[in-house]
Each structure stands twice: as C-alpha cells, then as structure tokens.
Amino acid sequence: MNMKVEIQIDETCTECKIILVARQLTDEIQMLIQSLSEGPAVYLPGFQNEELILLHPRDILRIYAEEKKTIAETEKGRCIIRLTLQEVQTRLISGSFVRISHSEMINLDKVKHFDLSYSGTIGVTMVNGERTFISRRYVSKIKQTCGI
C-alpha cells in the first residue's frame, strides 16, 4: 500500500490530531489505527524456561509460529512469546519487520543476504546463519519493500 504523508505544523495547536483519508478501510489501515491508539511497545515479553525476558525489537532476528506457539529468535536463542503473530505484528510498528509468510516475519536489519536463485521464491539467510524462505504470496511485497 502506497501512502502519502502530510504534516502540518501549527504553533497554536493544543492537541495533536491525525486524519486518515482512504478509499476503503483495509486490514493494513486497521492495524495502523490500532498501533497509533496503543502506542509503540518498546519490549516484547519472551519466556525461556519459566523466566521472563524482555526482548527489544532490535535484538530479534525473526518471529514465527510453530506448533501453536509464537517464537522469537535472537542471536542468543529462542523465546516463546505469549501473543499471536498478528498481535506481535501490530505491536512492532518498526519498519524493520516484514511478514514473509503466513507464519513468519523477519527483521530486515538482521538479514545477511537474499538468494534470488530459487524459482518463484526468495531464500533468506539471517546474520546467525539461519535460513528461511519468503513464500510466493509475499515475494512481490518484499521486492517492493527492498526496492528490487
């Protein structure tokens, strides 16, 4: 979704107001509204062996769903996040995170390289050496995001 952003500075303004003009209400717009309403979450709660670990988004390589659990992978290991992937995506308003499949999102800041040699999909190697793939459904969005 291409979005035009316009900011007006008014020194007499006493309350900040956001007006969104769109042809229709889409899932992306609803997520944006929810993100703006809740405010950004600085940390995600992760659990490792009954211990709560506060994960900063910049430390997360990828987040994926596996066996009905949401898992955040960092360079130090994996943590279970007690949120759905959709809830995590809503909280992570950082432009660094992008969905690559129905069950996975990656932090673009933690991508070592993309492998375009696969037919119809793209391979991704993360900085820790983990490999994953962008599903065909998300390839065009990733190409647009990365300017490919």
Query: pLDDT for 2-50, tens place per residue?
Result: 777 778 888 888 887 788 888 888 877 777 776 666 555 568 889 998 8
55: which 2 tokens? 């994960």
139: which 2 tokens? 């390839």
Structural domains in the chain, CATH included, are 41-146 (2.40.50.1020)
User: What is the structure's pLDDT at 67?
Assistant: 92
User: What is the structure's pLDDT at 94?
Assistant: 60
In angstroms, the CA 2 to CA 111 distance is 24
Region for residue 37 given its phi and psi (left: phi exceeds 0; alpha: psi -120 to 50; beta: otherwise): alpha
91: Cβ–Cβ under 8 A, 6 or more apart, which residues?
Answer: 35, 38, 40, 41, 44, 83
CA 24 to chain centre: 23
Predicted confidence (pLDDT) at residue 118 exceeds the cutoff of 80: no
pTM of the model: 0.68
- Are 119 and 136 contacting, i.e. CB atoms less than 8 angstroms apart? no
